[in-house]
Amino acid sequence: MIAASPATPANYNRADAALIDTLRGVVGADNVLTEAIDVAPYAFDGTAMLKQRPACVVFPTERSQVPAIVKAVTSAGVPLVTRGSGTGLSGGSVPLDGAVTLVMTQLDKVIEVDTANLTIRVEPGVITMKVDQEAAKHGLFYPPDPGSQKISTIGGNVAENSGGLRGLKYGVTRDYVMGLRVVLADGEEVWLGNQCVKDVAGYNLRDLFIGSEGTLGVVTEVLLKLLPRPQARRTMVATFATLESAAQAVSDIIARKIVPCTVEFLDQTTIRCVDDYANLGLPLDAAALLLLESDGHPAVVEEESAAMHQALIDNNATNVETAQTVEDAERLLTARRAAFSALARVSPTTILEDVTVPRSELAAVVKFIAGCAERHNVRIGVFGHMGDGNLHPTFLVDERNADEMHRFEAALEEIVDETLRRGGTITGEHGVGLAKKPFLRRQLGDGSFELLRKVKQALDPQWLLNPGKVFD
């Protein structure tokens, strides 16, 4: 599945000198890269083992340039791959041979913060964390905080419908997108959505573009909903002697009708790698660790964290510790955000999966993954957004070891099957891209899989927007 780099199918054209000249005309020569040394670093995103150089990389510096770029590229019959910061974990912005990569990072203006309607309007290249920092200046809050928030773009978040550490209580990117400006395959620009809390005029096309992975259009402006900033927060860490007791503790917290904003889970392998990176003094012999956070009104936080504490103790937590300072809490969260990269210390190749199951199935799936690792003799570190049922089994392998790669594939098959059998999904937040493509039909079934293709056909009849991603 993963080894083959995406190549241009015969019916696509490669970007040629004429197209490149046109693009230079639109954005200026400095903002079009074609030399091997310049484009080679755009051959990959955060996904392991996928690599393909584009023919050319274009950086629009004004929103108004995007329609002309899209039109020029698609009318030349050349594939267009939109890219934010290239932190994606399913190969979404990995180019095709001969393709044009459209990098949005220079469209990074915050256009407006509307404190009357509690919204923020931004360009797609704005860094996720910047959105929340801008909001904070007005006492407001933008909750979605993917692990990559210091560098991922809001456009990438919308295209992947990214989640974060606060998903349990606050939801994911989709829950905050009120409006989108999108440039379609033919270069037409449309505005979808508005500032109204309620809106049922026509089909909800805005939602169609959220999570569309750059295959339906290019997002050039995003209107986001903001919330009042929570006044207080409290972060705690609990350790457990078994995976099951950690999973049970999470179920129990939710059964007690507590919805913490964060419930993150790390297994032993991950605990060790994270500690190695961040020097937190985590208990290296614990089988599982939960990172929990409660936020909101100070009195509520007080009450909620006491109840959480009790639930953790009742479920045999070996230790529960509350962060004493804001800095401590931030350090813990940062380390958790870096869990995936930290696992890369262990092995040359780090392959991250994103299976998600209904919460009630969590304990069973965590256990299944551990068994699977043993049966196939592969190392798997597991961490994830326990509160959302979103797990990240991370394979620690070496791509040069063919035998190990076979064992990895066999183990992955089993995990995917088990996930689907329990009513789960192959990807909770990273998207299908190239990496999860082989499993999509299996999850959706023929009917809804074909429906996806019909939508794509209607919006991008030449199949030039990020072709080969999600499905062929």
Ligand X SMILES: Cc1cc2nc3c(=O)[nH]c(=O)nc-3n(C[C@H](O)[C@H](O)[C@H](O)COP(=O)(O)OP(=O)(O)OC[C@H]3O[C@@H](n4cnc5c(N)ncnc54)[C@H](O)[C@@H]3O)c2cc1C
Nearer to ligand X, 214 or 230 (CB): 214
Of 56, 69, 122, 127, the one binding other proteins by CB under 8 A: 127
Q: How far apart are CA 28 and CA 455, in angstroms?
A: 34
Nearer to ligand X, 264 or 404 (CB): 264
Alpha-helical runs (H) found in 44-200? 66-75, 128-137, 154-160, 167-170
Identify what 74 binds: ligand X, other proteins, none; CB under 5 to 8 Å per kind.
Answer: none
Say whether residue 148 binds other proteins (CB under 8 A).
yes
Asked if residues 5 and 51 have their Cβ atoms less than 8 Å apart, the reply is: yes
Say whether residue 105 binds other proteins (CB under 8 A).
yes
Q: For 385, left (φ over 0), alpha (ψ -120 to 50), or beta?
A: beta
Residues that bind ligand X (CB under 6 A): 45-46, 81-89, 92-93, 104, 124, 146-148, 152-153, 155-157, 159-160, 162-164, 213-214, 218-219, 340-341, 429-430, 466
Work out how close the CB of 124 gets to ligand X at its nearest, in angstroms, rounded to a whole number. Answer: 4
Identify what 37 binds: ligand X, other proteins, none; CB under 5 to 8 Å per kind.
Answer: other proteins
Q: How far apart are CA 333 and CA 385, in angstroms?
A: 12
Q: Is 261 exposed, middle or buried (0-12, 13-18, 19+ CB in 10 A)?
A: buried
Identify what 153 binds: other proteins, ligand X, none; CB under 5 to 8 Å per kind.
Answer: ligand X
Piece in contact with other proteins (CB under 8 A), picked from 44-52, 217-225, 230-238, 360-368: 44-52
Nearer to other proteins, 127 or 218 (CB): 127
Identify what 163 binds: ligand X, other proteins, none; CB under 5 to 8 Å per kind.
Answer: ligand X
Work out how close the CB of 162 gets to ligand X at its nearest, in angstroms, rounded to a whole number. Answer: 3
Cα-trace Rg, the chain: 22
Task: Identify which of 338, 343, 340, 239 has the alpha carbon closest to the alpha carbon of residue 287.
Answer: 239
Nearer to other proteins, 147 or 467 (CB): 147
Work out how close the CB of 420 gets to other proteins at its nearest, in angstroms, rounded to a whole number. Answer: 27
Q: Detail the DSSP E strand segments found in 21-133.
A: 32-33, 56-58, 80-83, 100-103, 110-114, 119-122
Nearer to other proteins, 65 or 105 (CB): 105
Instruction: Quote the distance between the C-alpha of residue 262 and its chain's center.
Output: 17
- Two structure tokens written together for 80: 């267009």
Q: How far apart are CA 166 and CA 284, in angstroms?
A: 25
Strands 100-103 and 80-83: parallel
Work out how close the CB of 33 gets to other proteins at its nearest, in angstroms, rounded to a whole number. Answer: 7
Of 2, 27, 48, 271, the one binding other proteins by CB under 8 A: 48
Piece in contact with other proteins (CB under 8 A), picked from 37-45, 182-190, 217-225, 286-294: 37-45
Say whether residue 390 binds other proteins (CB under 8 A).
no
Identify what 60 binds: ligand X, other proteins, none; CB under 5 to 8 Å per kind.
Answer: none
Say whether residue 408 binds other proteins (CB under 8 A).
no
Q: Cα separations (Å) of 131 from 175, 373, 430?
A: 15, 39, 20
Work out how close the CB of 262 gets to other proteins at its nearest, in angstroms, rounded to a whole number. Answer: 19
Nearer to other proteins, 152 or 305 (CB): 152
Task: Identify which of 351, 419, 417, 421 has the alpha carbon closest to the alpha carbon of residue 390.
Answer: 419
Work out how close the CB of 164 gets to ligand X at its nearest, in angstroms, rounded to a whole number. Answer: 5
Residue 151 neighbours by CB distance under 10 Å: 16
Q: Is 310 exposed, middle or buried (0-12, 13-18, 19+ CB in 10 A)?
A: middle
Identify what 262 binds: other proteins, ligand X, none; CB under 5 to 8 Å per kind.
Answer: none
Contacts (CB under 8 A) with other proteins, residues 50-69: 59
Contacts (CB under 8 A) with other proteins, residues 320-359: 338-342, 344-345, 348-350
Residue 90 neighbours by CB distance under 10 Å: 27
Task: Identify which of 199, 152, 206 has the alpha carbon closest to the alpha carbon of residue 182.
Answer: 206
Residues that bind other proteins (CB under 8 A): 33, 35-38, 40-46, 48, 59, 85-87, 105-106, 127, 148, 150-152, 274, 276-278, 338-342, 344-345, 348-350
